């Protein structure tokens, strides 16, 4: 049916063709009328005063000239231009063609008819250019006038930045009323104050932001300073955040250089911009040269930290990258991403659990990784409070099994990813990560003492067939260096509070905060990953690397800033509810235990905490008992953990939990013990 119909019509006139036909008829009238008006002006609008030879020359040549003009305009493509978006190039082309046809008019009349008055040619040319150009740009002018008048009741925008980027954003906004109206511009360059850009006044510097928001009734602020430093951007955003305006930010300078800068380039201001410090940008050349040509494995490689580790490692020519994760969906996602970005990469993606000693030993034996970043862990505090045995199995015991497999199979560096919650922990998750730190410190102490064979093979599958795990399978010279990396909350990671707050704001609230005084240290995923990788380079064994994360942030302030950044008012548009501390949660996190000394590194924001002294032999014996307790799913496991981690003080909603009764037993071997000395 449709084919027959289209076959009958043969040709469909598009809308733009109708417009072109209309403009073509207009041009016929315009170019003819231009020179007739020129004759009238030349003879003071008295038709009787026009010489007959002049009128005859015009009347005979007018139809010919009109046809020549329409043909020339068509050849130069003036009927195919989308005049709504016409700019300087289209203006120049239209003016050029109009002047060209006017020159043809002069030559033709001189050759074919008679010499017309000079004023006839000059006035006719000017009138033709005005009429031909005017009709084509009248639509844009009309839209501009309507937009200027129609925006008064819409968004009123303050633009920060009177440079080239700001001008590009301003002109893009002026094209479409849907973007709102820029009512004032802020710039710190006093030379620009009280001057105008496209009719908009530069009203002052950053110190006048608050005043002009009120004066011009601004409800949106656009920050368009792509070259600004993080410190400058943060200072300006801090002022803007005191207003009730919605804030958008130009994220970088790349779009400015490519000429693709528009209002749509502006992004929502991220909370990272208000962290209170510049991002850590260590020199990674040493790290990447260390990775180059080596086999690297990342456990938990599908998680937020693990996946970022894989991205950075993949870009710096490892011999092979091995991703190990228990969750196949995350592993598959990062596999597809890395294959797309780095098709040359020798990538191995394995599914397995760090709890499975046979699987871990098999992976290390088959692939012989030289560097291991151990990111696999359960990290959610309230969930681990409800399932404490799972936290111990996965975090502490899983780390032990992975570390033993690494040592046994000749791994060079083993980097444990820890957390500031391991410092004076009040929850099982933090205590389990402190156990992880003690595990790698125990391994380091035994290796340095030349007694690696004394490290018990606790990764045996009890009750089943034993694997070949005798100490004689250990290399003659153990070369594995074990280190830990401790940092705070990671913005954008799985379980981060920021995405939760954003979802609550999108739903209209309320935003839930556990306590008005709770504070946390924050860092970005790239910062965390940079620190982890640096640890693998700086390591000499037994260190705990600590990032100076600046000043802590109140979670209540964080929530209120996010609400304001969304253009809403806390406690008015979005309510904030305080739900009370969750099980195992404390008001503040610590970066380092008081007993741990600090040593500096080449990067002044990265420090090394020396190990706390503890009895290694007793710890390893207790760990064997802890495995039995965990796999029995014994509800009294907190008491066992508290005995092994002296700094662990379980709490519930901020209240101390009485320890479960624990059977105190002496270790079977009363012989020589080893203690990690404080350094």
> Which residues are marked as active site?
421
Q: Directed axis angle between helix 304-314 and helix 328-341, to 10°?
A: 20
Cα torsion angle, 622, 623, 626, 627, sign = negative
How would you classify residue 508: left for phi > 0, otherwise alpha for psi between -120 and 50, otherwise beta? left
Query: Three-state SS string across 218-271, please?
Result: CCEEEECCCCCCHHHHHHHHHHHCCCCCEEEECCCCHHHHHCCCCHHHCEECCH
- Rounded CA-CA distance 165/63 in Å is 49
Q: Which residues contact 179 (CB under 8 A, 6 or more apart)?
A: 155, 157, 172, 173, 263
Tell me how far apart the alpha carbons of residues 237 and 597 are, in angstroms, rounded to a whole number.
37
Task: Report the 10 Å Cβ neighbour count for 333.
Answer: 13
Report the DSSP beta bridge partners of residue 57.
none
Q: Which helix (H) or strand (E) holds 47?
A: none
Q: Determine the Cα angle at 640 with ends 639 and 644, to 5°.
A: 115
Alpha-carbon Rg of the chain, whole angstroms?
37
The rounded distance, in Å, linking the Cα atoms of 403 and 389 is 20
Residues 455 and 478: beta-carbon distance below 8 Å? no
- Let me know if 24 is exposed, middle or buried by CB neighbors in 10 A (0-12, 13-18, 19+): middle
Joined together, the tokens standing for residue 378 give: 């359960």
Residue 367 burial (C-beta neighbours within 10 Å; 0-12, 13-18, 19+): middle
Which is it for strands 371-374 and 181-186: parallel, antiparallel or unpaired? unpaired
**Other CB atoms closer than 10 Å to residue 410's CB: what's the count?**
17
């Amino acid at each position: 049916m449709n084919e027959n119909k289209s076959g009958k019509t043969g040709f469909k006139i598009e809308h733009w063709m109708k417009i072109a036909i209309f403009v073509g008829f207009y041009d016929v009238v315009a170019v003819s009328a231009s020179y007739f008006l020129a004759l009238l002006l030349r003879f003071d609008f008295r038709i009787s005063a026009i010489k007959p030879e002049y009128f005859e020359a015009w009347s005979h040549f007018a139809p010919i000239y009109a046809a020549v003009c329409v043909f020339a305009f068509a050849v130069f493509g003036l009927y195919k231009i989308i005049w709504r978006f016409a700019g300087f190039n289209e203006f120049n082309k239209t003016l050029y063609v109009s002047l060209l046809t006017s020159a043809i008019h002069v030559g033709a009349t001189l050759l074919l008819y008679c010499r017309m008055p000079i004023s006839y040619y000059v006035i006719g040319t000017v009138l033709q250019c005005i009429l031909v150009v005017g009709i084509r740009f009248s639509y844009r002018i009309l839209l501009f006038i309507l937009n200027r008048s129609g925006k008064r009741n819409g968004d009123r925008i303050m633009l920060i930045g009177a440079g080239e980027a700001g001008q590009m954003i301003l002109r893009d906004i002026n094209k479409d009323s849907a973007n709102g109206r820029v009512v004032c511009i802020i710039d710190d360059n006093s030379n620009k104050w009280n001057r105008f850009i496209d009719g908009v006044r530069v009203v002052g510097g950053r110190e006048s932001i608050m005043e002009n928001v009120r004066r011009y009734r601004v409800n949106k602020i656009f920050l368009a300073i792509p070259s600004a430093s993080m410190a400058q951007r943060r200072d300006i955003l801090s002022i803007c955040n005191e207003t009730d305006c919605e804030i958008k930010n130009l994220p970088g300078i790349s779009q400015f250089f490519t000429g693709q800068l528009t209002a749509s380039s502006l992004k929502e201001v991220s909370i990272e911009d208000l962290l209170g410090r510049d991002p850590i940008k260590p020199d990674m050349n040493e790290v990447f040269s260390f990775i180059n040509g080596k086999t690297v494995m990342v456990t938990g490689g599908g998680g937020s930290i693990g996946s970022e580790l894989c991205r950075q490692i993949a870009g710096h020519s490892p011999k092979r990258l091995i991703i190990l994760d228990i969750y196949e969906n995350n592993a598959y996602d990062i596999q597809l991403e890395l294959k797309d970005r780095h098709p040359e990469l020798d990538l191995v993606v394995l599914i397995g659990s760090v709890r499975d000693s046979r699987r871990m030993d098999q992976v290390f034996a088959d692939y012989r990784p030289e560097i291991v970043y151990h990111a696999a862990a359960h990290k959610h505090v309230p969930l681990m409070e409800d399932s404490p045995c799972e936290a111990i199995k996965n975090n502490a015991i899983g780390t032990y099994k992975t570390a033993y497999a690494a040592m046994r199979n000749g791994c060079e560096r083993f980097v444990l990813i820890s957390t500031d919650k391991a410092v004076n922990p009040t929850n099982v998750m933090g205590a389990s990560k402190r156990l992880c730190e003690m595990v790698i410190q125990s391994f380091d102490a035994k290796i340095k003492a030349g007694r690696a064979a004394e490290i018990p093979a606790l990764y045996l599958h009890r009750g089943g067939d034993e694997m070949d795990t005798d100490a004689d399978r250990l290399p003659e010279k153990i070369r594995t260096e074990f280190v830990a990396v401790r940092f705070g909350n990671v913005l954008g990671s799985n379980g981060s509070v920021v995405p939760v707050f954003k979802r609550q704001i999108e739903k209209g609230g309320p935003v839930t905060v556990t306590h008005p005084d709770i504070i946390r240290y924050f860092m970005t995923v790239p910062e965390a990953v940079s620190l982890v990788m640096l640890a693998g380079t700086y390591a000499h064994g037994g260190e705990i690397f600590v990032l100076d994360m600046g000043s802590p942030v109140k979670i209540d302030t964080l929530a209120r800033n996010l609400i304001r950044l969304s253009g809403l008012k806390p406690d008015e548009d979005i309510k904030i509810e305080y739900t009370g501390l969750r099980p195992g949660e404390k008001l503040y996190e610590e970066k380092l235990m008081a007993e741990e000394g600090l040593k500096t590194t080449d990067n002044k924001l990265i420090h090394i905490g020396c190990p706390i002294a503890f009895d290694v032999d007793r710890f390893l014996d207790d760990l064997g008992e802890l495995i039995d307790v965990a796999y029995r799913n014994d509800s009294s496991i907190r008491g066992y953990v508290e005995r092994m981690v002296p700094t662990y003080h379980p709490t519930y909603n901020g209240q101390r939990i009485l320890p479960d009764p624990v059977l105190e037993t002496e270790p079977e071997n009363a012989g020589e013990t080893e203690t990690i000395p404080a350094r």
